[in-house]
Amino acid sequence: MLAIIIFASCKNQTALKNYSTYSEIRQDLEAGKISCLDLVNAHLEQITARNTELNVFLSVYNQEAQEKAKTIDEKIKAGKAGKLAGLVVGLKDVISYANHPLQASSKILNGFIAQFSATVVERLLAEDAIIIGRQNCDEFAMGSTNENSAFGITRNAANPNHVPGGSSGASAVAVQANMCQVSLGSDTGGSVRQPAAFCGVYGLKPTYGRISRYGLIAYASSFDCIGIFGKSIDDVALVLEVIAGVDNYDSTASHTPVPAYTQNLQLNEKVKVAYLRESLESEAIQPEIRKAMQEKITFLQKEGHIVEAIDFPLLEYILPTYYILTTAEASSNLSRYDGVRYGFRSEKVEDLDSLYKKTRSEGFGKDVQRRIMLGTFVLSANYYDAYYTKAQKVRRIIKEATDKIFEKFDFWLMPAAPTTAFPIGNFASDPLQMFLADVFTVQANVVGIPGLAVPCGVDKKGLPVGLQILAHHFKEEKLLTFGKYLALHSC
Ligand code: GLN
């Protein structure tokens, strides 16, 4: 009996270890070397082994995933399996999966069950991906550390005393710790790219409108994007190919055709790359990150690409613009959680007014309350023009300045964050410092362009270093190709 158990677990461990891309998985599935059930069981073993310590999954759909795996195994035998057959996927707790719990890691949605599936979920399932569970995150995707969750903090698998980044921290850790092959998260100001960098995995935030937001819990609707975490660019490209594209349920989903991203991931041309002068010089950036930047720049120059330093004087305006506009949008989006329609309701209610006040005071965490108040303030009649209108104008100016850079360059290389993963509790008494850590990621959302986090070695404590590449609107194909090229020539 013992021998059988060891054999079974060895087989699963081997299955997991070797697969950095889904195409290798698919080959072995087709050849009958492994089954989807093996894959699901292997990931479930990893979850069992580390979930208590790392606090990644809030729900694990064990039985359902196993049943699904068996059905897909039959489809593979019959030659009828979809493009993602057996791809084990985790979902951040802001993406609807019909008849499964959905809480945005907030007490205010206690007990809420999703009534429909997000378009991305429908598209994954239609291609036979297997959804393994729901992942922790910062409450309503607000945060950069995964410490703002009603379900407790998530830990970085590289060093559990450090944060995984946020807000999609657990989605990054799930891939980092082999608990799933791919995760879907959301990125409003860096929540896919920054945790990807902190955890040493790939993370894509697509162009605004490239992927439907239908079924994504709204934080700041003109910034929100669903993004993808993977162990390889190939997996990110494959999933993007499946989930991107026009959607009748989201009028902001673009009609721009979706290329076959996986078909052409080889860089065959010389490219022009910009980088911020400060990213090599500023003392505020951790030395190992500056070194990684320098190495990539030297490599690109040696290969004959054009690489030039640029200045972006608007840099200091990007964060205030982001935090004014996102809090404004959040205060409006989150007004629906009033204790009447969803989840939690305070027990100390006396009348309608106290129902709203007590439910919202008890149901929302501190950071979410802070942002609702900030957003309500900037939208209030006396301050609307001074803050909200002005920030909208600055947003336009930042967009135009960014467009100019992409008239001259194909890509913009920069750190994903100024440091590697912080120790847990670092910003407990100073939320403003945490906002500052988003300095490199928010621009892509302010402007709506795609950004990709690429792992680039580790710092002297063994924590992953990640760089970020930005490209112009709808240039995901080029971005992924360049990202793969850069990643192959490792730091
Ligand atoms: N850290 C940023 C914020 O708290 C980004 C969050 C996100 O992208 N969801 O707003």
Q: What residues does each domain of the chain span? A: 1-491
Asked whether residue 66 carries a pLDDT value surpassing 60, the answer given is: yes
Q: DSSP E strands: which ranges in 297-404? A: 306-310
Pocket test for ligand 1, best of 144, 217, 222, 468 (most atoms within 8 A of CB): 144
375 Cβ inside 6 Å of ligand 1? no
Predicted local distance difference test score (pLDDT) of residue 233: 98
- Closest ligand 1 atom to residue 445 Cα is 8
Pocket mutation for ligand 1, best pick of 438, 440, 468 (most atoms within 8 Å of C-beta): 438
Q: Is the CB of 15 under 6 A from ligand 1?
A: no
Asked if residue 190 has its Cβ within 6 Å of ligand 1, the reply is yes
Question: What residue type is assigned to position 159 of the chain?
Answer: N
Give the distance from CA 317 to its chain's centroid: 24
Say how many C-beta atoms besides its own lie within 10 A of residue 50's C-beta.
20
Task: State which of 138, 193, 368, 436 you would mutate to test the pocket of ligand 1, scoring each by most atoms of that ligand within 8 A of its C-beta.
Answer: 138
Question: Does ligand 1 come within 6 angstroms of the Cβ of 180?
Answer: no
Closest CA to 374 of 323, 434, 336: 323
Would you say 117 and 193 are in contact if contact means Cβ atoms under 8 Å apart?
A: no
Confidence of residue 488 (pLDDT cuts 50, 70, 90): confident
CA 144–ligand 1 middle distance (angstroms): 6
Which residue, chain included where needed, has tokens 């791809």? 87
pLDDT at position 17, please?
56
Which of 96, 105, 106, 191 is catalytic? The answer is 191
* 489 compared with 101, residue with greater pLDDT: 101
Measured CA to CA, the distance from residue 200 to residue 456 in angstroms comes to 8
Mean pLDDT of the chain: 94
No. of H helices and E strands in the chain? 17, 11
Catalytic residue among 117, 149, 167, 279: 167
- Measured in whole angstroms, the distance separating CA 288 from the mean position of its chain's CA atoms is 23
Dump pLDDT digits (tens) for 110-147: 999 999 999 999 999 999 999 999 999 999 999 999 99
Whether the pLDDT of residue 1 is over 60: the answer is: no
CB of 187 shorter than 6 A to ligand 1: yes
How much distance in Å is there from the Cα of 4 to the middle of ligand 1?
46
Ligand 1 atom with least separation from CA of 322: 10
DSSP state of 232: S
Q: Please list, in sequence order, all residues whose beta carbon lies within 8 angstroms of the beta carbon of residue 430, skipping any fewer than 6 positions away.
A: none
| CA dist., res. 348 & res. 300, Å (int) | 63
Minimum CA distance residue for ligand 1 atom 10: 142
Cβ density class 451-472: b for 16+ within 10 Å, e for less:
bbbbbbbbbeeebbbbbbbbbb
- Examine the residue annotation and report whether 167 is marked as an active-site residue of this protein: yes
Query: Is 191 among the residues known to form the active site?
Result: yes
Say which range, 1-5, 133-137, 447-451, has the weakest mean pLDDT.
1-5
Is the predicted pLDDT of residue 99 greater than 50, yes or no? Answer: yes
Give distance in angstroms: CA of 338 to centre of ligand 1.
23
pLDDT at 433: 80
Q: What is the pLDDT of residue 276?
A: 94
Please tell us whether the domain made up of 1-491 is placed in CATH 3.10.20.30.
Answer: no
Does the C-beta of 183 come closer than 6 Å to ligand 1?
A: no
> Is there an atom of ligand 1 within 6 Å of 363 CB?
no
User: Which whole-number Å values give the CA distances from 398 to 17, 245, 293, 470, in the listed order?
Assistant: 44, 26, 24, 14
Q: Is 169 in the pocket of ligand 1 (CB under 6 A)?
A: no
Confidence of residue 92 (pLDDT cuts 50, 70, 90): very high
Residue 126 main-chain phi, psi, to 5 deg: -65, -25
Which mutation among 326, 371, 372 tests ligand 1's pocket best, with the greatest number of atoms within 8 A of CB? 326
Can you give the pLDDT at residue 279?
A: 87
Residue 326 Cβ inside 6 Å of ligand 1? The answer reads yes
Contact 255, 246 (CB under 8 A): yes
pLDDT value at residue 431: 78
pLDDT tens for each residue of 249-298? 999 999 999 999 999 899 999 999 999 998 898 889 999 999 999 999 99
Q: What is the pLDDT of residue 436?
A: 83
Residue with tokens 């290798």: 24
Whether 20 is catalytic is no
Confidence of residue 490 (pLDDT cuts 50, 70, 90): low
Average pLDDT over residues 227-243: 98
Per-residue pLDDT of 286-337, as tens digits, reads 999 999 999 999 999 999 999 999 999 999 999 999 999 999 999 999 999 9
Does any ligand 1 atom lie closer than 6 A to the CB of residue 168?
no
Condensed to tens digits (0 to 9), the pLDDT of residues 23-49 reads 999 999 999 999 999 999 999 999 999
Nearest atom in ligand 1 to 142's CA = 4
Q: Is the CB of 34 under 6 A from ligand 1?
A: no
Q: Is 468 in the pocket of ligand 1 (CB under 6 A)?
A: no
Give me the catalytic one of 68, 92, 231, 478.
Answer: 92
Centre of ligand 1 to C-alpha 322, Å, is 10
Write the CA distances from 288 to 143, 275, 294, 438, integer angstroms.
24, 17, 10, 18
Whether 13 has a pLDDT exceeding 80, the answer reads no
- For residue 483, pLDDT over 90 is answered with yes
Position 476 scores a pLDDT of 98
Q: What is the pLDDT of residue 228?
A: 99
- Smallest CA-to-CA distance from 16 within 160, 242, 181 is with 181
CA-CA distance, 321 to 301, in Å (whole number)?
Answer: 34
Cβ-based burial of 276 (10 A; exposed 0-12, middle 13-18, buried ≥19): buried
Is ligand 1 within 6 A of the CB of residue 279? no
CA terminus-to-terminus distance, the chain: 46
Q: What is the mean pLDDT of residues 393-417?
A: 98
Query: pLDDT (tens digit, 9 = 90+) per residue, 157-179?
Result: 999 999 999 999 999 999 999 99
**Ligand 1, closest atom to CA 367?**
4
- pLDDT score of 356 more than 90: yes
> Model's pTM, two decimal places?
0.96
